[in-house]
Amino acid sequence: MMRSRRLPSYWQRVAVVFSGAALSQAIPIAGSLLIARLYVPAEFGLFAAWYGVSVVLNLFLTARLDAAFGLASDGTERGRLVVVTILMVLGMGCLLGLLTWLAVRLWPAGLFGVPAALTGWLAPMCLCAALSVVWQAWAANNGQIHALNAIRLVQAAAVTGLQIAAAWFDPAAGSLVVAQIAGTSVAVCVAARLLPIQAYLPATWLELRAQWSEVWRKYWRFPLLAMPSDVINASAAQLPVIVLGARYGGEVAGCFALASRTLGAPLAVLGAAVRDVFIRDAGLEMRAHGHCRPVYRRTFRILALLSFGLVLVTVPLAEPAFALVFGEPWRLAGVMAVWLVPLFALRFIASPLSYTFFLAQKQKVDLIWQSVLLGMVVAVLYGFDSYRSTLIAYGAGYAGMYVVYLMLSSRYGGRPTAGIEA
């Protein structure tokens, strides 16, 4: 009887998160229709390369302590963990600012395919993005779905609106960059207002030091194991747009970026909604029973069914749809979407369920898998002579790695453990 009551509750909460997340993603998707016509593929490709670098760097700022929020008890314990994480972000953000300032002067030609004019914007972007991630993770683990949806909606609307407006002044990659930072900072201000941290701030320096020591004693696996793992994962995901731009030009990189953004965004919406509810329910079951088998299985079944539907729709419709919606210069993006559909279909299933690695304290296994994944990606990106062969092999190799990942997450989520060791 208890299970029959929890099942509707679980998917009702997923539906609430999904409705807000869907709207927050519908805004940039709709905005992409105009952005694709205001910015040429080469400029969009340059922005995508810059944004990819920022995605990797902002993981260092949080040290992935935000992934530990689900292991902390509701209330004061989690609030203190949030405060330590925010302080970590601020400190690392200042360090990153210094490093990028030095990089601009030592390498005036730019780094990682990002020109020096844009490199200086990496630190403020990473700082804002990391703070947004922290507040969203806090809201998700507290079950504060309405606050979570509000933060996402504000960020999506602000970023998209500013990027469209900026194109009227200068339709270049720099305009996309500045608008991205400004829109994200607006979302951070809203998040700080909706979920204030003042009640959890330490009153004295000694209290802060004790709070800091407690967090690192209990959650050291996250900065030492989970952070390198996620940095590798993000690098593997963002490396293609950088390498494609360097090897085949900005137009190919721009089409790849649009294909990934358009195909991945709807899946990320539902996947994030499922994850935000899954991490709370799975965490409760893991702490109570040593496993989260029931919630894992029902989540896997619905994700697999939706993923199959994605394949059926994308393969026949992607190429003509991209040309019709975004314009003929973007037809290649639709072709790339078909090549990448195995990757996105399996990522959609694996991503929400990957939280079982954290709950079962298997960050070391996750790190090994991510390292193998990065090796595969590098080998594929430099092992072929045409972008067609490169992307087909990239999608197939990624899909194969996700099959292994799902097998591991199923094992760790369904196997009873002796409890959660912090």
- The domain segmentation of the chain, as residue ranges, is 1-18+220-416, 39-219
The pLDDT of residue 418 is above 60: no
The pLDDT, as a whole number, for residue 93 is 92
CA distances from residue 287 to 7, 98, 215, 281, 418 in whole angstroms, order as listed: 19, 41, 19, 10, 10
- Specify the 3-state DSSP secondary structure of 281: helix
DSSP 8-state symbol, 127: H
pLDDT digits (tens, 9 = 90+) for 201-214: 888 888 888 888 88
Predicted pLDDT of residue 9: 62
Confidence class for position 189, pLDDT limits 50, 70, 90: very high
**Residue 108 DSSP symbol:** T
Give residue for tokens 């973007």. 330
Higher pLDDT, 384 or 265: 384
Residues 6+ apart with CB under 8 A from 199: 79
Q: What's the distance, Cα to Cα, between the start and end of the chain in Å?
A: 32
Q: Which of 148, 131, 130 is nearest to 139 (CA)?
A: 148
At 194, the pLDDT band (50, 70, 90 cuts) reads very high
7/264: higher pLDDT = 264
Q: What share of the chain is helix, strand, coil (3-state, %, to 5)?
A: 85, 0, 15
What integer best gives the mean pLDDT of the chain?
81
Q: What is the largest CA-CA distance in the chain?
A: 66
Cβ neighbours of residue 232 under 8 Å, at least 6 residues apart?
Answer: 367, 370, 371, 373, 374
- Please, is 416 exposed, middle or buried when counting C-beta atoms within 10 Å of its C-beta (0-12, 13-18, 19+)? exposed
Least confident of 105-114, 123-132, 365-374, 378-387: 105-114
Residue 4 has pLDDT above 70, yes or no: no
pTM score of the predicted model: 0.67
Q: Are 408 and 254 in contact (CB under 8 A)?
A: no
Dist. CA 371–CA 367, nearest whole Å: 6
Note whether 373 and 232 are within 8 A (CB).
Answer: yes
